[in-house]
Structure formats: C-alpha cells, structure tokens
C-alpha cells in the first residue's frame, strides 16, 4: 500500500531566520529538521514507511515577504523535487500581499515545476479568502485545476491578545491560540465562510484542503446543519453538499480512532487524505494508525494514497 503525506512542512533558507529561537513559543520542531529536504529526510521516510511527501512551506510573513524571496523558496523546493522526483512533490508558497502576484506565482510553479497547488497559512491581513481581493488567486487555482491547502497560522494580534493571554505563561497562551485550539477554529471558520459567501458557486471546480480531520467541523456538524444551513440564501446547494464537492480533509496531527470515525461519518472515505503533520507530529504513530483504522481495505487505500493521487495527479 502506497502512503502519501501532504501536510508535511519545511522552511527555506530565505525564511529560516524567522523561525522562533530556542525556548521561544512556536519552536515546536528543530529548525535543522524543517530545513532538511534532502537525503536525510528521505532516509526518515524510508524508515517510517512514507512513499511520497508533498512539501508545504510556512514560517514567513505572507503579506510582507518579497516576491523574490518567495520565488527563491519555491525554486529551492523545485530543486528538491527534481533531485527526488519519486519521493517529493510540492505546494507553492505565495506572495499574498498581491492576489495578482500570488496567482502568477502559482501559475509559474505549476507550469514550470509541476507543483501540485499552494499552501496558505492562516488569514492574510486578517482577511479570509472569501474577500473579493483574492478573486484572481481563486480563479487561477480553478483554471489550473490545483487545490489550495488552508493551513492554520497564529490568529492576528487583535484576537490573540484578547483570547489567548491571561494568567498563564506565554507558552500556554501560544498553545491555546495555536495547536490546542485557536488556529483550528479559525480554519474551520475559513472553510465555512468560503461556502456561505458563495465562493464555490463562483468557482465550482475549486478544491480546498483542510487538515486535522476537518478542523472541528465534524464535531459541530449537527449545529451547522440545524442552524447555519437554513439561514443561507442564494446558494446553489446546501452547505453540506459543498463538502462533498469542494473540500478534502486530512488526518494530519491525529492518530486516534474516535475523531477519525466522526470525520469519516461526515465527509466519507472519498474525501479523506492521510497526512502526518511532519515534523510537528511523529510519523510512526500516524502510519500505524492508518494501518489499523476500522475501514475496508478499499477505503484504506483511498485514504493512504488513492484520493490524493487523483486530486494532485501524482
């Protein structure tokens, strides 16, 4: 059974200096592991049983990074894919201060390097992708037939200062706002906003990916159906239908059965993709979990590699 992971992280030479220093909140994996997209990483994949990683870049300020630095980052990823074409693929990093530049860079990396889409980290200047300013990027992704991976990032300061600071350490506050809760709520909201604002009616073939077994959406499914769905107007389909048409979820960061079964019930096996969230989550438990989840072998293969091979044309 081929196993492909698609929420697998790295940091480029251009942006390594922005990674939190030793002992600072947010330094959740060694920088030397994040910056390694060479033979050492391949050796780890061999040992742990991962056939292909789709590299996704983070750790740069999306609206202040220069176009040239983002292009250099994508060029570095392209070099790694060229050296290990059977083991790596890549999502583009994008210069999101300009949707036009982002669209052009997405097209450059897809056409020149064969990139499989783009990874977008959190909101941009506090704005979600349903904002009209991002129309050129959404249109370009749809026309290129590549997905956008909505990955979490720490909420903007106007939210984090109110919600995630208090009578506890900076590390606890950062964790509340990120890996434990805050950024997962935000990505779930991001996906729902794209649905109810009509993004997928305007771009019906656009595909997005969200991680962490649906970013809390499965837990709130009954509430979404009961409260949100009857109040949406002017959409072509019900809210739930867009999840079948336009949204994939990954297993990133999870290796336990109950949340997986909930996501499976909501989204179905055809919309779930295996991921690790490497190196922030360990590979071995994720692979062992994949091999033991209570699904048919047909569905296990879909989740392990079949769905993503079709989506990304791997």
pLDDT at position 26 is 85
* Alpha-carbon gap, residue 171 to 166, rounded angstroms: 11
Lookup: tokens for 302: 């879909």
Which residue range(s) make up the domain with 238?
4-312
- 10-residue mean pLDDT series, the chain (314 residues): 97 90 86 96 98 90 85 97 98 96 98 98 94 98 98 89 92 93 95 98 98 97 96 95 97 97 97 97 98 98 98 97
pLDDT of residue 58: 82
Measured in degrees and rounded to the nearest 5, phi and psi for residue 74 equal -65, -35
28-67 pLDDT, tens digit each: 999 999 999 999 999 999 999 999 999 999 867 767 889 9
The CATH number linked to 258 is: 3.20.20.140
* pLDDT value for 173: 94
Contacts of 230 (CB under 8 A, 6+ apart): none
* Total residue count of the chain as it appears in this document: 314
User: Can you tell me the distance from the alpha carbon of 246 to that of 105, in angstroms, rounded to the nearest whole number?
Assistant: 23
Pair of tokens at residue 238: 């019900």
For residue 291, count other CB atoms closer than 10 A to its CB. Answer: 12
26 burial class (0-12, 13-18, 19+ CB within 10 angstroms)? middle
pLDDT of residue 40: 97
- Residues 189-218: pLDDT tens digits? 999 999 999 999 999 999 999 999 999 999
Q: Give the per-residue pLDDT at 24.
A: 85
Residues 273 and 209: beta-carbon distance below 8 Å = yes
In total, how many domains does the chain have? 1
CA atoms within 13 Å, Cβ hemisphere of 249: 28
Q: Which residues does the annotation mark as catalytic?
A: 277
* Cα 109 from Cα 118, distance rounded (Å): 9
Distance CA 153, CA 102 (A): 18
Q: What whole-number distance in Å separates Cα of residue 134 and Cα of residue 144? A: 16
3 state SS of 247: strand
């Amino acid at each position: 059974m081929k196993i492909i992971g698609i929420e697998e992280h790295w940091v480029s030479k251009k942006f390594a200096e922005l990674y939190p220093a030793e002992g600072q909140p947010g330094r959740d994996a060694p920088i030397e592991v994040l910056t390694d997209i060479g033979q050492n990483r391949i050796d780890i994949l061999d040992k742990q049983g991962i056939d292909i990683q789709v590299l996704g870049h983070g750790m740069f300020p999306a609206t202040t990074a220069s176009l040239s630095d983002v292009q250099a980052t994508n060029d570095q990823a392209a070099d790694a894919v060229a050296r290990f074409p059977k083991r790596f693929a890549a999502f583009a990093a994008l210069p999101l201060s300009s949707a036009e530049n982002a669209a052009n860079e997405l097209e450059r990396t897809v056409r020149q390097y064969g990139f499989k889409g783009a990874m977008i980290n959190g909101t941009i200047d506090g704005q979600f992708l349903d904002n009209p300013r991002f129309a050129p990027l959404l249109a370009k992704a749809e026309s290129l037939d590549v997905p956008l991976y909505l990955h979490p990032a720490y909420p903007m300061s106007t939210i984090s200062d109110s919600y995630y600071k208090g009578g506890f350490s900076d590390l606890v506050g950062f964790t509340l706002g990120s890996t434990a809760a805050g950024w997962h709520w935000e990505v779930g909201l991001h996906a729902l906003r794209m649905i109810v604002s009509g993004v997928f009616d305007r771009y019906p073939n656009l595909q997005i990916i969200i991680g962490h077994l649906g970013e809390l959406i499965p837990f709130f499914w009954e509430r979404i159906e009961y409260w949100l769905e009857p109040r949406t107007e002017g959409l072509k389909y019900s809210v739930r239908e867009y999840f079948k048409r336009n949204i994939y979820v990954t297993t990133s960061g999870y290796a336990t059965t109950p949340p997986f079964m909930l996501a499976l019930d909501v989204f179905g096996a055809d919309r779930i993709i295996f991921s690790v969230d490497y190196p922030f989550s360990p590979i071995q438990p994720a692979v062992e979990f994949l091999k033991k989840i209570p699904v048919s072998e047909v569905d296990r293969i879909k989740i392990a590699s079949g769905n993503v091979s079709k989506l990304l044309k791997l």
